[in-house]
């Protein structure tokens, strides 16, 4: 069975984006970028993969990406941001997507259960916080890029009612940039 992996950048105070959905406060330069991009080239938008010479890099961990509408429609976003992956957007209102972006309109939990039972690489939940809270019972792994910054307010890592869930830290990488890359598996 494939895993649902919530892989996201987060601030010290637990936000994945500012209130307006932007993430300009995160650190995009430093030793963490090369290390994380080398291990997870599949999580780079397709146009960045090309710019970094990784367009031919095989998907190492994920073949499917799942995102909420706000994550998909991030300011300055692309209509098909992860063309190298199967793309799913959860939305009841989104109507105009390219053919390679599927929209899940209802029974999100049921559809994600079906995706997890398919053959293939893991499923990347790349945001947002409301979707993560709804899918928390199905999340197997947390991959958190913890940036040494405080937003004070914004979109929380889990935005909504969620039951207490325990994860065990299975890996930790610390970078000179101050970013920590933490891996947690469901206990």
User: Which pLDDT tens digit goes with each residue over 79-110?
Assistant: 999 999 999 999 999 988 999 999 999 999 99
Q: Which domains does the chain have, with CATH numbers?
A: 4-159 (3.40.430.10)
Residue 50: pLDDT band by 50, 70, 90 thresholds?
Answer: confident
* Measured torsion, CA atoms of residues 154, 155, 160, 164, in degrees rounded to the nearest 10: -90
Residue 38: pLDDT band by 50, 70, 90 thresholds?
Answer: confident
Q: Does residue 170 carry a pLDDT above 90?
A: yes
pLDDT at residue 78, as a whole number: 86
Question: What's the token pair of residue 134?
Answer: 């709804």
Q: Which residues contact 81 (CB under 8 A, 6 or more apart)?
A: 45, 46, 72, 87
pLDDT at residue 133, as a whole number: 97
Q: Which residues contact 19 (CB under 8 A, 6 or more apart)?
A: 153, 154, 155
Q: Does residue 75 carry a pLDDT above 90?
A: no
Mean pLDDT for the stretch of residues 5-34:
95
Residue with tokens 């793309």: 87
pLDDT at residue 168, as a whole number: 98
Of 25, 34, 6, 37, give the one whose Cα is nearest residue 176. Answer: 34
Q: Does residue 8 carry a pLDDT above 90?
A: yes
pLDDT at residue 52, as a whole number: 83
pLDDT at residue 3, as a whole number: 98
Residue 166: pLDDT band by 50, 70, 90 thresholds?
Answer: very high
Residue 36: pLDDT band by 50, 70, 90 thresholds?
Answer: confident
Q: Considering only residues 37 and 15, tell me which one the structure prediction assigns the higher pLDDT.
A: 15
User: Which pLDDT tens digit goes with each residue over 106-150?
Assistant: 999 999 999 999 999 999 999 999 999 999 999 999 999 999 999
């Amino acid at each position: 069975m494939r895993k649902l992996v919530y892989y996201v950048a987060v601030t010290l105070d637990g936000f994945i984006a500012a209130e307006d959905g932007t993430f300009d406060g995160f650190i995009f330069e430093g030793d963490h970028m090369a290390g994380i991009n080398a291990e997870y080239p599949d999580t780079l938008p397709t146009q960045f993969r090309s710019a970094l010479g990784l367009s031919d890099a095989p998907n190492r961990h994920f073949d499917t990406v799942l995102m909420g509408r706000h994550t998909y429609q991030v300011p300055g976003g692309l209509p098909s941001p992860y063309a190298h992956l199967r793309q799913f957007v959860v939305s009841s209102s989104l109507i105009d997507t390219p053919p390679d972006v599927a929209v899940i309109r209802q029974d999100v939990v049921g559809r994600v259960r079906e995706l997890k039972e398919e053959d293939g690489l893991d499923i990347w939940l790349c945001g947002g916080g409301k979707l993560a809270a709804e899918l928390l019972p199905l999340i197997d792994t947390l991959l958190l890029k913890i940036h040494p910054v405080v937003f004070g307010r914004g979109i929380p890592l889990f935005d909504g009612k969620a039951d207490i869930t325990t994860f065990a830290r299975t890996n930790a990488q610390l970078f000179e940039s101050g970013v920590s890359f933490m891996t947690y598996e469901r206990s």
